[in-house]
Amino acid sequence: MSIQKSIDRIIAPPPPHMVGDGFRVHNFFPGELDGNLARLSPFFLLDYNALMEWPPREEPRGVGVHPHRGFETVTFVYHGRVAHHDSAGNSGVIGEGDVQWMTAGSGVLHKEYHEKEFSRKGGLYQMVQLWVNLPAKHKMTTPKYQAITAKEWGIYEIPESGAKVRVLSGTFKGVTGPASTFTPVEIYEITLKKGSAISFDLPQTYNTGLLMIKGDVLVNTREVTENHFAIFKNDGENIVIKADKDSTILVLSGEPIHEPIFSYGPFVMNTRDEIIKAYDDFNNGLFGYLED
């Protein structure tokens, strides 16, 4: 019989800040981890745009051209629509339930903003951006995208209880997600009806957290409420979630990358010299060109 994972701490939503003029986010980590950049490795950053409403606007809000190197960005959309372009000629729109998994790798210029029709009409908006670190041997891999629509996620359901798990990466009770990863990563979205419950195991050595997108739940007897983030200790495998309300939970778990982390701005590398090289390459135009 597996041992339950204890909750280490529950983080209330930190004060929001703007990323560009289109993303009002709570930064749960690394900002709330007291300088411990590796605490949730391989995950490095979590920005959460809690549910809000944007008024209509002709000129789409967003964030302009910016570079990335050394990690991956994973963008989840719950309400609204997000458009993006990059310096390699890729572009697309992320709708509700979709995910864009961008491997920045050796370097890419990127911009993202509210999709034009959504901007013109305005409406409810809710999204998550997660940064997943890359191990040293893959930090300079060729940039790529995985555009994963809502219908492409793996699905595990318990119809009699109203529990449903969408699997983005890894495997949940035999259901495997479509995303390819450079290190073992388990990412699930769990929806529970009021009064329902679900139990599952994750490796004790994996760093694990969950974000309450909607509702209130009991997680291994601890209450976790809407818009809060729970971090687990590495002391067990089993997680039991019981819903006090209709709830949606984003579960993140992954094998730690046991390497130095040196980050600055939009780059996540292993050493200071690699950060300097990233800025030199960016300033010398080696990330390509993208019109703002």
CA distance 151 to 122: 25
Q: What is the pLDDT of residues 83-134, one digit of tens each?
A: 999 998 889 999 999 999 999 999 999 999 999 999 999 999 999 999 999 9
Q: What is the pLDDT of residues 3-59, one digit of tens each?
A: 999 999 999 999 999 999 999 999 999 999 999 999 999 999 999 999 999 999 999
Q: Over range 242-264, report the average pLDDT.
A: 97
Q: pLDDT grade, residue 244 (50/70/90)? A: very high
- Which H/E stretch holds residue 14? none
Is 162 a residue whose pLDDT tops 90? no
| HSE-CB for 273 with a 13 A CA cutoff | 0
Q: What is the pLDDT of residues 186-204, one digit of tens each?
A: 999 999 999 999 999 999 9
Identify the CATH number of the domain defined by range 7-254.
2.60.120.10
Q: Over range 141-167, report the average pLDDT.
A: 94
CA distance 23 to 290: 20
The burial of 208, by beta-carbon neighbours within 10 Å (0-12 exposed, 13-18 middle, 19 or more buried), is given as buried
Residue ranges of domains in the chain = 7-254
Query: If you average pLDDT over every residue of the chain, what do you get?
Result: 97
Q: pLDDT grade, residue 241 (50/70/90)? A: very high
pLDDT of residue 110: 94
Residues in Cβ contact with 38 at an 8 Å cutoff, skipping those fewer than 6 apart: 256, 257, 261
pLDDT of residue 176: 98
CB 60 within 8 A of CB 83: yes
CB 5 within 8 A of CB 235: yes
pTM of the complete model? 0.97
CA-nearest of 239, 186, 268 to 6 is 239
Of 86-95, 219-228, 232-241, the poorest mean pLDDT is in: 86-95
pLDDT of residue 90: 86
Of 96-100, 157-161, 176-180, the poorest mean pLDDT is in: 157-161
Residue percentage of the chain with pLDDT more than 70: 100
pLDDT of residue 242: 97
Is 1 a residue whose pLDDT tops 80? no
Q: Buried b vs exposed e over 263-276: b needs ≥16 C-beta within 10 Å?
A: beebbbbbeeebbe
Strands 238-243 and 17-19: unpaired
Q: Over range 244-252, report the average pLDDT.
A: 97
Q: For the chain, how big is the Rg over CA atoms in Å?
A: 19
Q: pLDDT grade, residue 185 (50/70/90)? A: very high
Residues in Cβ contact with 193 at an 8 Å cutoff, skipping those fewer than 6 apart: 161, 162, 163, 243, 246
